[in-house]
A and B are shown apart, each in its own frame.
Chain A
Amino acid sequence: MPDLSEYYQPQSLTAALELLAKSNGKLIPLAGGTDIVPAMGKGELKANGLVDLSKLSEIRRISMDDSEIKIGSLTTFAQIETSPLIQAKASLLADAAAAVGSPQIRTTGTIGGNIANASPAADTVTALVTLDAQARLDSIKGSRRVLVSELLCGVGKTNIHPQEIITEITFKIPSTGSKTGFIKLGRRKALAIARMNLAIIVTLDNGKISFARVGLGAVGPNPRRYPVLENSLVGQSPSESLIDEFAIEAEREVTRVLGSRPSAIYKCEAVKGIARDLLKKMFSDSGQGVV
């Protein structure tokens, strides 16, 4: 069992923020705990105390506002995976949430925790950066909004201040008629950490791709967008040859980013396989992934 001297379970967000403000960085916010608890058990993470956010139902909900989706940071992967709203408006995020761990982990783990943990392989984070999602951070001093991609600054590192909590994630709904998709490459079909993951959004105008977003995870220190890959899609028409060209472009990008790392040999080749699988699915006529 982790060694803990203090444990709080505030009943309101304000109470939670006050606790963090007073603690001088000694307390760590606890969401689903699926990363923090094992890390404390192994002694990899030391904390004087935890602020358990699980009672803050005010930040555990999904809603839509005009053209924007808002997801409370404590919303679980299972809630996102099964949300009709997310499935209809941003299926890449529903698919990414469904790819996390196992049913038990998805029932407990949260989207805010997935960002704060800053794993290079975080499945929903790849989908969120592809959506240009923003995180809202609250402290007793006020709140700010930051792009998820800018909040992450390395393996296990974020720009979240010790007295702040991620409270909400927002993103613009991709324009009507867009197609979105997510694919994960794991060592097995469940309970696997992503070797790589890929999220894509394309909008078609008169048979040509007018807008594209491409995010890759487990290549660099954090999942991020790859503008070179986005540009390789824009202006093109979906076709077998476009899939081939995109796969080769993806190989080039991953090669450039990974350089001579030991994992490069495998990942450069494998990215082509997942790129092909995902684009083939997205370019098919099935209604899957259509916004």
Chain B
Amino acid sequence: MKKRGYGLANMWYGIGNTANPNPSGAFVDFLDDGTAIVLTGCADIGQGSNTVLAQIAAETLGICIEDVVIISADTEVTPDAGASSASRQTYVSGNAVRLAAEKVRDQVIAIAAEILNLPTETVNLYQGEIWNSNESSGVSIKDIIIKCRSKGILTLGHGSYNPVTTMLDPETGKGIPYATYAFATQVAEVEVDTETGIVEVKQIVAAHDVGTAINPQNVEGQIEGGCAMGIGYALLEEVILKDGEIQNPGMSTYLIPTSLDVPEIHTIIIEESEISGPYGAKGVGEPALVPTAAAIANAVADALGIRIYDLPLTPERVVAALKSAQEDSKKV
């Protein structure tokens, strides 16, 4: 028999390494053709950090994202940006890039104000031009940088950021382990076949507070990827050990979901701006995975009326749990 169920799970998750310094550094070079080079140690492992960091640099420098070149994760030339882990790169390296770009911007603004005879407080960089309050001066950023060069001034900046945390008290565990947190709620709908024990995830709704979404499509992709991984955690992934030896060490035996196993995922991005983040951003990498298995397990419990405490919820486990529940009810 097929049974439907719904399950909900909430999570909060610290951004950055726990109660430890984890700084990121960045260099920005604003070139005399009006483009910029960003050097960052941040490794883009497919999550899209190169795009997000280019957006942050472009926004700060008042130029198009196409005019930003990111050189990343090359230990020969890029400054340390820590690991692409702990859901930290948008927040920590994003801040480092923002700070480095702000230093360059401030130099360009100072020179522009001097040349155009404007007060520095009202000068801004926007759309490749020098603006005064809400009006373009008509002078391009490129022209100002060329002027800088003629005066022998290079427009370089460096920045670094380390999230504000404290050590945790060894006795009480109290302290400030993270500078900021991500929050999320996910709901899963499942259909369970009580005979084959197969759990089919029909759909997932995933609402995530990511601070400002610097790249909403990217955030959506991160959430969908996390949910797919969470489906694997809930239903498939298990390291089988026998006498200390892993019995399923390959992708043909340690199964993860295929695209056919992933249902429609409805993402909801909650933008609660984080004051310490670059343009209000936090992180979303791991949070996307954290609540999924719990939501699915709750949905299975809702469908079957019994709760299974071991992951993954394999067909064998589901069938065995149903059988033992049946036997228990006979005893009563």
B-binding residues in A (CB < 8 A): 102, 185, 187-192, 195, 247, 265-266, 269-270, 272-274, 276-277
Residues 181 to 212 of chain B near chain A (Cβ within 8 Å):
193-198
- Answer whether residue B269 sits at the interface, using C-beta atoms and an 8 A cutoff: no
Inter-subunit contact B258/A191 (CB<8 Å): yes
The verdict on A190 contacting B260 (CB below 8 Å), with A265-B320, A269-B319, A270-B319 known, is: yes
Asked if A269 contacts B260 (CB within 8 A), the reply is no
* Cβ contact within 8 Å between A269 and B258: no
How many contacts A-B (CB < 8 Å)? 55
A26 smallest CB distance to B (angstroms): 29
Q: How far, in angstroms, from A262 to B292 measured CA to CA in the complex?
A: 31
Q: From B197, which residue of chain A is reached at the shortest CB distance?
A: A270
Q: Report yes or no: B195 in contact with A270, Cβ–Cβ below 8 A.
A: yes
A/B interface sample: 21 pairs, CB < 8 A: A187-B314, A188-B236, A188-B255, A188-B258, A189-B261, A190-B259, A192-B255, A195-B315, A265-B320, A265-B323, A266-B197, A266-B315, A266-B319, A266-B320, A269-B196, A269-B197, A270-B195, A270-B196, A270-B319, A273-B198, A274-B196
For the complex, give the distance between the alpha carbons of A210 and B316 in Å.
Answer: 36
A191→B260 CA distance, assembly (Å): 10
Inter-chain contact A189/B196, CB cutoff 8 Å:
no
Nearest-Cβ distance from residue A193 to partner chain B, whole angstroms? 9
* Structural contact, A189 and B258, CB atoms closer than 8 A: yes
Q: Is B48 an interface residue (CB 8 A)?
A: no
Q: Is the CB of B195 within 8 A of A272?
A: yes
Which of B252, B255, B259, B323 contacts A269, CB < 8 Å? B323
State which residues 264-295 of B face A: CB under 8 Å. Answer: none
Interface residues of chain B: helix, strand, loop or mixed (majority): loop
A265 to B197, CA, bound (A): 12
Q: Which residues of A contact B255 (CB under 8 A)?
A: 187-188, 191-192
Contact A270 B258 (CB under 8 A): no
Instruction: Judge whether B225 is part of the interface by a CB distance below 8 angstroms.
Output: no
On chain B, the residues within 8 Å of A276 by CB distance are 195
Give bound CA distance, A188 to B256, whole Å: 8
Q: Bound complex: CA of A16 vs CA of B194, how far in Å?
A: 51
Closest to A272 in B: B195
Please give me the 5 A-B residue pairs with the lowest Cβ-Cβ distance, nearest first: A273-B195, A273-B196, A189-B260, A190-B258, A270-B196
User: Does B23 count as interface, using CB distance less than 8 angstroms?
Assistant: no
Q: How far is the CB of A123 from chain B (nearest CB, A)?
A: 16
Contact mask for chain B residues 313-332; partner A; CB cutoff 8 A; 1 contact, 0 none: 01110011001000000000
Give the contact-size bracket for chain B.
Answer: 20 to 34
B residues contacting A by CB (< 8 A) are 193-198, 236, 252, 255, 257-261, 314-316, 319-320, 323
Nearest CB in chain B: distance from A258 CB, A: 14
A179 nearest CB across to chain B (Å): 22
Cα–Cα distance between A185 and B315 once the two chains are bound (Å): 10
Given A187-B236, A188-B236, A274-B196, output 8 extra A-B contacts at Cβ < 8 Å.
A188-B258, A190-B259, A266-B316, A266-B320, A270-B197, A270-B315, A273-B193, A277-B193
Q: Which residue of A lies closest to B259 (CB)?
A: A190
Contact B196 A185 (CB under 8 A): yes
Q: Which residues of A contact B198 (CB under 8 A)?
A: 185, 273
Q: Which A residues are in CB contact (< 8 Å) with B259? A: 190
Residues of the B chain whose Cβ atoms lie less than 8 Å from the Cβ of A266: 197, 315-316, 319-320
Q: Are A269's CB and B195's CB within 8 A? A: yes
Contacts of A192 in B (CB 8 A): 255
**In whole angstroms, how far apart are the Cα atoms of A185 and B123 in the complex?**
67
User: Separation in Å of the B256 CB from the closest CB of chain A?
Assistant: 8
The distance in angstroms between the C-alpha atoms of A215 and B316, with both chains bound, is 23
Closest to B319 in A: A269
Among B236, B314, B315, B323, which residue has the most Cβ atoms of chain A within 10 A?
Answer: B315
Q: Which interface residue of A189, A190, A247, A276 has the most chain B CB atoms within 10 A?
A: A189
- Residues of B within 8 Å of A191, CB to CB, are 252, 255, 258
**Chain B residues, Cβ within 8 Å of A195:** 315
A263: nearest chain-B partner, CB-CB: B316
Bound complex: CA A75 to CA B298 (Å): 46
B196 / chain A contacts, CB cutoff of 8 Å: 185, 269-270, 273-274
- Which of A102, A185, A188, A277 touches B257 (beta carbons < 8 Å)? A188
**CB-based contact B195/A188 at 8 Å:** no
Contacts of A269 in B (CB 8 A): 195-197, 319, 323
